[in-house]
Amino acid sequence: MTEFYLIPTWFFGFSSLLELFFGLITLGVALYAFYVNRFCDEREIKLFGYGFLAIALSYFSWAFVNWYVPFKASIQEEIFRFNNYEMLVSLGVYAHVFLFLIGLVTLVFLTMGREGNRLYSLLVILSFLIIVFSEQKIISFYFVSSLLLFYMIYHYGREFYEEGGKHNALMLLAFIFLFIASVDFTFSAINHIHFVAGHILFLIGYLFILFNLVLMVKPFLRKQKQKNG
């Protein structure tokens, strides 16, 4: 397996907690979308939920890898490398990569306003092929992720310019930080500090998404409270 990350060994525990946190936030967004879809049954909301569900599963997979490695490896060096590591870890890393890309492709496809499976399948296949046939997989993965995230910035930037609103502003800020984090992670195969910095940037981005989720859920909780009262 081609080297994916250079990771400071002291950061394994922190990174697992952060990735679990990212997974819970994106899972919350997915579950809320599925709940809303029960009442309106709209294709866009369903795709939005599936996109974030795939991203959530990708982070749970990544959290498992960073939790599993310290228990199974005798790590003596300051920096850990995923070079030719055991199959379970490799599967976990690839699961994170492919699920994350599926999630982003789903969100991008949603913003295009197109119907039909051919364009969606093409986007997924092209994204996968770039990773599979690349020698520098980490660079390819985060390059593709950055392109997809940049498209999401364009989408929410246009939405905010035309309509305004807290929702569009928060999602725009979230995807800006996720984009910067993804670009920063491109260098994590060169210097381990980028692995730490990328997590911090991802944390800021997902905090914006969490705040947006809280704003969306508040009216529902208020209505439930009124019904029960």
CATH number of residue 121's parent domain: 1.20.1070
Nearest to 143, CA basis, from 182, 117, 170: 182
Which amino acid belongs to residue 193?
I
Confidence (pLDDT) at 76: 46
pLDDT at 196: 86
Residue 103: inside a domain:
yes
> Based on the number of CB atoms within 10 Å of its own CB, is 148 exposed (0-12), middle (13-18) or buried (19 or more)?
buried
Q: Output the pLDDT for position 2.
A: 45
**What is the Cβ-side half-sphere exposure of residue 129, based on CA atoms within 13 angstroms?**
6
Residue 60 CA to residue 6 CA, distance in Å, equals 20
**With contact defined as beta carbons under 8 Å apart, do 202 and 22 qualify?**
yes
- Note whether residue 166 is domain-resident: yes
Does any domain span residue 149? Answer: yes
Q: Which of 63, 135, 49 is nearest to 95 (CA)?
A: 63
**What is the pLDDT, as a whole number, of residue 78?**
47
State how many domains the chain has: 1
Provide, for the chain, the percentages of residues in helix, strand and coil under a 3-state DSSP scheme, each rounded to the nearest 5. 85, 5, 15
CA distances for 203 relative to 31, 117, 141, angstroms: 20, 33, 19
Q: What is the pTM of this model?
A: 0.85
pLDDT given for residue 52 in this prediction: 95
Q: What whole-number distance in Å separates Cα of residue 104 and Cα of residue 181?
A: 15
* The pLDDT of residue 162: 92
Mean pLDDT by 10 residues, the chain (229 residues): 57 82 94 86 86 95 79 51 61 88 93 79 90 82 93 94 91 96 83 84 94 82 64
The residue range of the domain holding 38 is 6-228
43 touches 113 (CB < 8 A)? no
pLDDT of residue 140: 87
Residues in the chain: 229
Residue 1 covered by a domain? no
Instruction: For residue 113, give the 3-state DSSP assignment.
Output: coil
